Structure 1
Amino acid sequence: MNTDIKKLPEQANNRDNNEIDLSALFWLLLRGWKVIIIFALLGLALGLLYSRYVNPTFKADGLVQIDEKSKGIEALGENISDLIGSEVSKAQTETELIKSRMVLEPVVNLLHLGIRISDPTVGYVDRLSSSRIHTQVNTPEGVILETEEGQVRVSQFNVSQEYSNTPFTLVRSNTGFVLSNDFDDFKGQLNQPHQFRGVDGIIQITVEDLPNREHPISITKQSLQTTTDDINAALTVIEKGQKTGIIELSLIGHNQQQVTLVLNQIIQSYVDQNKSRGSEETTKTLEFMETQIPLLRGKLEDSEAIFNKFREENGTIDVGQEAELLLKENSQLDVQLNELKLKKADLTTYYTEEHPLVIQINDQLQVLNNRKQEIDNTITGLPKIQREFLKLSEDTGINREVYLTMLKNYEQLKIVKAGQIGFARIIDLPISTYRTIAPKKMLITLLALLVGTMLGTMLVLLRSLLRNTVKDPERLESKTGIPVIATIPRSPSLSRLSKSKSSNRLLAYIDHNSLSYEAIKSLRTNLMFSMPKQASADKRAQVILISGESPGVGKSFISGNLAEIFSQLNKKVLIIDADMRLGEMHKLFNTSPDNGLGDYLSREDSDLSNTVHPTSMDYIDFIPRGKQPHNPTSLLASEKFSSLMTELKAHYDYIIMDSPPVLAASDAIILSAYADKVLMVTRYNRSIEGQLAYAIKQLNKANVQVDGIILNDVQQGIMDKYSYHYSYAYGNNQQVSPK
């Protein structure tokens, strides 16, 4: 065995480990083009099916402006305007209010959105065969669903809390309908309201129409929370721009008419709630005034009666100029005090005594009361009758002024309430455009195609990562340190015969003009010049051991065709099928496996002449595997096998031994002791690089030097990076494309 094989430079190994070969990655993806195309087409098909399976989605839009609260009383004077404060609503706050149950609940009740009906007979095939599946339509009159067997119309369906979100089944009967669940069956008449008492509570239902032929319909009464959650999932409320005060509302669904109707009702419900909130302050003020006006009128009447009685008893009193001024000033102070008290009473309905406005009014009241006290002290000095006259006159004037002021403000506030419109203004109501926004078939198709292509690419890369097959001779040399001395292309003719299970696989008979045959000739030339020179007196056979890392790599194919090539030199060649377990070289020569190596080594009286069999080809003899022994490895390590090899070497020029795979048995290690050349056969795009490297490592551990690697069954094509190894043929060979 020749062990003078130069190792590849260590720098090449380091470079291979540290660099990413982008070109190899590119060619790897090209070699996996079939997988990528299949996954791309699969993704495309799934995308098209999904686009057809999903119901079209429609959209409705509306715009609402949030503005300052409209007072509507600027022309009525500033006094009443001061009684009603102004407030600016922020759009961000209003967006949350729109999605609240306060706004959505009236819409749910009006359109019966809590009632969900569906056709359970519609399956996946129906959804694919039809471009659109009917969905329910909610109206103020009830819920409608079109089916293949007829129309469903339900105008009322209310259940107790225990039955909420519980599915029922509606079926038309001869006399009306049957409503059932897992426990109860309720029978009723069409177009008549019914109330049933079930195990878990009360059920109220009015069914107007059902499909024929006992077509089942699924019906469910959703809870308010579930229904509003479903609406909010399809509802989008955002402010357009920043601080514009314009809110855009969008609702999506599978029925354009339904979506437009629901969104329109949501906007109307919000505007109604907004208007109600805007007039709440005015309403409370009017209610307060309605309670005060009768009291003030009674107080005025009492003061006038007392004053008139005093005048009748004492006559008219001429009050001096000073008294008149004091009276006038005192009267004005009382008017101001009453106005401040009225304003304070209004403010204290919303604020506490610690509010700055209330404190300010209290300070003003204190100043006016102090001045009034000074005037009262001055008037005290007047004559008693005059003082009484002034007091009664003052009380009457004050009561009259307060009553008239209250009455005036009351009438003005009634006008204000009639003109209040809230601070939300509808700009655009939703309209039906009947333009689908989903599914975007073109986008889905492109994305599905892209995802399929990516999955196919990932599968190719993952398969290459998990099963790094043998493809690159240079990579093999770099990974193992063993030269690739031959690359044997795939023979198209042999591939066709393999499909017909033909046993003859010798290229000399079936494809002698092929690239494969020329490659084996090149292998013969390489071996001839690398064999150790021997003296003519020491004539003995050159022994070549051919093995592989695993079964199915083509050891027997290489061994048989290499022997035929050597026989063309008029050299005596012996082929030994040393795989006594599963050897199949006898099929290559159309002979029997009997009376072979196993029989010779296991029998005491065996005869070599009965073990060596001639073949149909000149100069080639063959030793089959024989009957499988129970200890083939021990037989190869015996003295009898050593004597056999010594005897055979004296009669042949070349001995080719086909051994079992290295990873399957240790026979190759024993046989290598008799070999001048140890060759490893590996198969293109099938053998695993790691297994080949491990097999060579196992041989090296046993001090067996592998002299070369034969890369078998290489396929040529424009997507194979290393096709230049056999791109040209010699002689009259025509270049053929791989299978």
Structure 2
Amino acid sequence: MNKDTQHTAKTTTDKDDDEIDLMALLLVLLRGWKVVVVFAVLGVLLGVLYSRYVNPTFKSDALIQIEENAQGIAALGESISELVGSEVSKAQTETELIRSRMILEPVIDLLHLRIRLADPNIGALDKIKYDRIATQMNTPEGVLLETDNGQAQISQFNVSQAYLNQSFTLTRSATGFVLSNGFDEFKGQLGQPQSFRGVDGQIQITVNDLPAAGYPIHILKQSLKTTTDEINSALSVVEKGKQTGIIELSMTGSDQRQVTTILKQIVLSYIDQNQSRGSAETTKTLAFMETQIPTLKEKLESSEATFNEFRKKYGTIDVGKEAELLLAENSQIDAQLNELKLKKADLTTYYTEEHPLVTQINEQLQVLNRRKQEIDSTIAGLPEIQREFLKLSEDTAINREIYLTLLKNYEQLKIVRAGQIGFARIIDLPISTFKPIAPKKLQIIILAMLLGAMLGTMLVLLKNLLKNVVKDPERLESKTGVPVIATIPHSPLLSRLSKNKKSAKRMLAHVDHNSLSYEAIKSLRTSLMFAMPTDSSTKQQGKVILITGESPGVGKSFIAANLSEVFAQLNKKVLVVDADMRLGELHEMFGMTQYNGLADYLSQGTGRQDTGRIATTNAQTVSPETNHHIETASKYPSTDITAVIHPTTMDHIDFMPRGKHPHNPASLLVSEHLGQMMDELKTQYDYIIIDSPPVLAASDAMILAQHADKVLMVTRYDDSIEGQLVYAVNQMNKANIQVDGIILNDVQQGIMSKYSYHYSYAYGNKQP
């Protein structure tokens, strides 16, 4: 074989191993389907209980639009819009603002959300029983909680800082109510404001109603931060879409009316704050104008009075054409200067001197002032009276213009403020749907079932990993060094019959003689026949086969009984010995009793001699070598062994039951009687099959193995522990006993086993 072929074969083998491992994992789960189903059902039960335990959750939502401020100021004139300015609010900024204490605190105070009421008589079983538990309802009038014995209604509860987040107990009394926290106890009247002085400060409370006497109600006053945190945990504020300016508010809770009321008040609180914020700029400008108007009016009146006195004293003065032009220009400059100064005064209320608008006005003022200085220099050459006239007339005109302009703007801003609105508007207010959004019972039950099934799957895999049961024959051979000489398939028919505890145990030849199990027993018989020693000195003696197991329940008695039956089919004389003197049940396979058996024979004294009945009755039918062994056996003192050997209903098969349960089974086996008995039995039977106790349960198998030609270890597929089997084989090896073969019993057939044998046929005649 070339290297490429070897590599291809190796790769194919690795893939096959991987596929087998995956299939084995799947089959492990299939074998543990009952555990998975139990945990899945348990998960469904827990899911149902949980869905009833938690209160339903309801949801309310609202929509708010954030838009550019529709200011009426710009419509009233460019000058006013420049004074007031504009501002655009982003939806993302507003979402954070809605969550702030500035918005939530008015709602908390209005609805008394810091007051918390609870019914301590509600337990876990009550929550499951009633499916839904009443919660408190907050209104502007107070807090209400319904109970089985009446309602509790509190309209006021204020405590000092030390009492915040501290639980109190309210109980109705004959004269009113009793408020207690475990240290202090206060008594008050229902329906009246009460004030108490406690160890840690002042308490103010107004109790309107309580349940029946003796029914307690827990009450506490939360801190503002705790309450706002609880609201924010149930409140969702997000922009709907991207750059839409639409904010979606939603809130969840255990009471639909409560959730709707709180969310509605949050929306209204935000809109009120938004509207106040939008008109704050206009209000501030009006307040500034109101302080300036009286001063300007007084200045105008003073300048007019001075000008009138001058005209009355000197009469009208004829100013030349040049003076008129200069006066007109100077007047225009003064008007521009005054207007710029007014703008600068308004702007400096919002901006600093470094602001671009303020800097621009300062530059314009410098230009106009330089021109005014030039005009003043020219006018300085006019006669003194003319200059005085010009000065007084200019002052009067300028003061009149400033006053009238400010008064006009003041009236316009008053109109704007009256119709001014915020940049946020309500699209949808929250409404009550009374349709719970949680718990989603079907989803919870399905999820709980899946989690239960996953837990069951993990348990099955973990159990399989830790237990490491017997499965792979090749693995057993590599671990123990002992060949697996037979695998006995599971017999479904025999398994169904054995479930009826009242029915007697049956053999394969009687109930399932066409099965794979029966054929496997025959294959074991063939293997043993060819593997038996053929020494010339012992070939005329019976062959002793010892069948044991590493632990109880592996099916060694089943193997012993059925193996004896297939040997008898060959017209071989077979003796089956139940050497498990403690718990042997082989007699049930043959429909006999346990008495008059091995234990009875071994426990009798050594003084009685063997009657030689067997040797006498068979002297004419045995060979000279057999007679020699009979003569040798007769030298040993023994009891009548025929008394403990019983014929069975099957031809060529005799049976020695375990006998009466002795106190010292191992001590009986090490006596001389066992060796004497075995020597005698070998002369009479072709095969002696001994069913011994498990190796790890007793040392009997090691003693009996000294007289056996073949020692077979039975283990049960997918049930026996691999480590126990290895340990049992090692224990036998330490006692210088060689285990000749392992019988893998009850191998499951079909897809439920990784190492099953999928035969579609069986040898033998089938009845129509």
> If the length of structure 2 is used for normalisation, what is the TM-score?
0.83
**Matched residue, 1:351:** 351
The 3 A distance-change label for structure 1 pair 583 and 124 is closer
Distance apart, 1:263 and its partner CA:
0.9
Distance apart, 1:172 and its partner CA:
1.5
**Matched residue, 1:451:** 451
Give the Cα separation in 2 of the matches to 1:665 and 1:13: 43
**Matched residue, 2:222:** 222
Distance apart, 1:196 and its partner CA:
1.4
The 3 A distance-change label for structure 1 pair 628 and 368 is farther
Give the Cα separation in 1 of the matches to 2:719 and 2:32: 14
User: Is the deviation greater in 386-395 or in 614-623?
Assistant: 614-623
Which runs of 5 or more residues in structure 1 are unaligned?
1-8, 735-739
- Conserved? CA contact 1:577–1:583, under 8 Å: no
Distance apart, 1:151 and its partner CA:
1.9
Are positions 1:590 and 2:594 aligned together? Answer: yes
User: Is the deviation greater in 142-151 or in 616-625?
Assistant: 616-625
Give the Cα separation in 2 of the matches to 1:122 and 1:81: 63
Are positions 1:406 and 2:406 aligned together? Answer: yes
- Conserved? CA contact 2:594–2:658, under 8 Å: no
**Matched residue, 1:5:** none
Distance apart, 1:451 and its partner CA:
2.3
Amino acid at match of 2:719: R
The 3 A distance-change label for structure 1 pair 311 and 564 is same
Distance apart, 1:242 and its partner CA:
0.7
Identity in percent: 63
Give the Cα separation in 2 of the matches to 1:305 and 1:561: 143
> Which of 678, 687, 702 is the matching residue for 1:654?
687
The 3 A distance-change label for structure 1 pair 13 and 394 is closer
- Conserved? CA contact 1:473–1:484, under 8 Å: no
> Which of 657, 670, 680 is the matching residue for 2:713?
680
Amino acid at match of 1:237: V
User: Is the deviation greater in 450-459 or in 161-170?
Assistant: 450-459
Distance apart, 1:80 and its partner CA:
0.8
User: Is the deviation greater in 262-271 or in 375-384?
Assistant: 375-384
User: Is the deviation greater in 480-489 or in 246-255?
Assistant: 480-489
Secondary structure of the corresponding residue to residue 437 of structure 2: strand
Output aligned runs, 1:208-607, within 5 Å. Answer: 208-471=208-471, 482-483=483-484, 485-487=486-488, 489=490, 507=507, 520-535=521-536, 538-563=539-564, 565-566=566-567, 569=570, 571-573=572-574, 584=584, 590-591=594-595, 594=599, 607=637
**Matched residue, 2:145:** 145
- Conserved? CA contact 2:599–2:665, under 8 Å: no
Secondary structure of the corresponding residue to residue 86 of structure 2: coil
**Matched residue, 2:24:** 24
Per-residue CA deviation, residues 423-453 of structure 1 (Å, 9 max, x unaligned), is 1111111112222211222222222222222
Secondary structure of the corresponding residue to residue 436 of structure 1: coil
Give the Cα separation in 2 of the matches to 1:593 and 1:278: 110
**Matched residue, 2:115:** 115
Distance apart, 1:522 and its partner CA:
4.5
How well do the aligned residues superpose, as a CA RMSD in angstroms?
A: 3.9
Distance apart, 1:381 and its partner CA:
2.1
Give the Cα separation in 1 of the matches to 2:243 and 2:486: 79
- Conserved? CA contact 2:594–2:657, under 8 Å: no
User: Is the deviation greater in 284-293 or in 10-19?
Assistant: 10-19
Distance apart, 1:304 and its partner CA:
2.0
Amino acid at match of 1:708: G
Distance apart, 1:147 and its partner CA:
1.7
- Conserved? CA contact 2:73–2:84, under 8 Å: no
**Matched residue, 1:129:** 129
* Alignment coverage as a number of residue pairs: 719
The 3 A distance-change label for structure 1 pair 224 and 431 is same
The 3 A distance-change label for structure 1 pair 494 and 295 is closer
The 3 A distance-change label for structure 1 pair 536 and 355 is same
Amino acid at match of 1:375: I
- Conserved? CA contact 2:135–2:145, under 8 Å: yes
Which runs of 5 or more residues in structure 2 are unaligned?
1-8, 607-634
Per-residue CA deviation, residues 479-535 of structure 1 (Å, 9 max, x unaligned), is 777335131535876887788599x85738996869566654553343224434454
Output aligned runs, 1:178-189, within 5 Å. Answer: 178-189=178-189
The 3 A distance-change label for structure 1 pair 90 and 10 is closer
The 3 A distance-change label for structure 1 pair 606 and 578 is farther
Give the Cα separation in 2 of the matches to 1:348 and 1:680: 107
- Conserved? CA contact 2:486–2:520, under 8 Å: no
User: Is the deviation greater in 187-196 or in 450-459?
Assistant: 450-459
Give the Cα separation in 2 of the matches to 1:329 and 1:598: 151
Distance apart, 1:279 and its partner CA:
1.4
The 3 A distance-change label for structure 1 pair 456 and 600 is farther
Give the Cα separation in 2 of the matches to 1:10 and 1:364: 96
User: Is the deviation greater in 51-60 or in 420-429?
Assistant: 51-60
Distance apart, 1:662 and its partner CA:
5.0
Give the Cα separation in 2 of the matches to 1:376 and 1:666: 138
- Conserved? CA contact 1:380–1:387, under 8 Å: yes
- Conserved? CA contact 1:586–1:593, under 8 Å: no
Give the Cα separation in 1 of the matches to 2:736 and 2:345: 111
Give the Cα separation in 1 of the matches to 2:201 and 2:59: 38
Give the Cα separation in 2 of the matches to 1:731 and 1:444: 57
The 3 A distance-change label for structure 1 pair 11 and 630 is farther
Amino acid at match of 1:112: H
**Matched residue, 2:625:** none
**Matched residue, 2:43:** 43
Per-residue CA deviation, residues 563-610 of structure 1 (Å, 9 max, x unaligned), is 455456554555667778x66468766036646779999xxx995547
- Conserved? CA contact 2:260–2:430, under 8 Å: yes
User: Is the deviation greater in 393-402 or in 514-523?
Assistant: 514-523
Secondary structure of the corresponding residue to residue 454 of structure 2: helix
Give the Cα separation in 2 of the matches to 1:620 and 1:687: 31
- Conserved? CA contact 1:62–1:429, under 8 Å: yes
User: Is the deviation greater in 469-478 or in 680-689?
Assistant: 469-478
**Matched residue, 1:4:** none
Give the Cα separation in 2 of the matches to 1:537 and 1:11: 52
Give the Cα separation in 1 of the matches to 2:310 and 2:157: 74
Give the Cα separation in 1 of the matches to 2:11 and 2:641: 50
- Conserved? CA contact 1:548–1:682, under 8 Å: yes
Secondary structure of the corresponding residue to residue 266 of structure 1: helix
The 3 A distance-change label for structure 1 pair 436 and 491 is closer
- Conserved? CA contact 1:197–1:203, under 8 Å: yes
- Conserved? CA contact 1:39–1:452, under 8 Å: yes
Amino acid at match of 2:484: P
Give the Cα separation in 2 of the matches to 1:287 and 1:499: 103
Distance apart, 1:555 and its partner CA:
2.9
Per-residue CA deviation, residues 25-75 of structure 1 (Å, 9 max, x unaligned), is 333332222222222222222222222222222111111111111211233
Give the Cα separation in 2 of the matches to 1:343 and 1:480: 106
The 3 A distance-change label for structure 1 pair 306 and 698 is farther
The 3 A distance-change label for structure 1 pair 723 and 687 is same
- Conserved? CA contact 2:35–2:460, under 8 Å: yes
- Conserved? CA contact 1:64–1:425, under 8 Å: yes
Distance apart, 1:79 and its partner CA:
0.7
Amino acid at match of 1:709: I
The 3 A distance-change label for structure 1 pair 733 and 466 is farther
Amino acid at match of 1:544: I
Amino acid at match of 1:443: Q
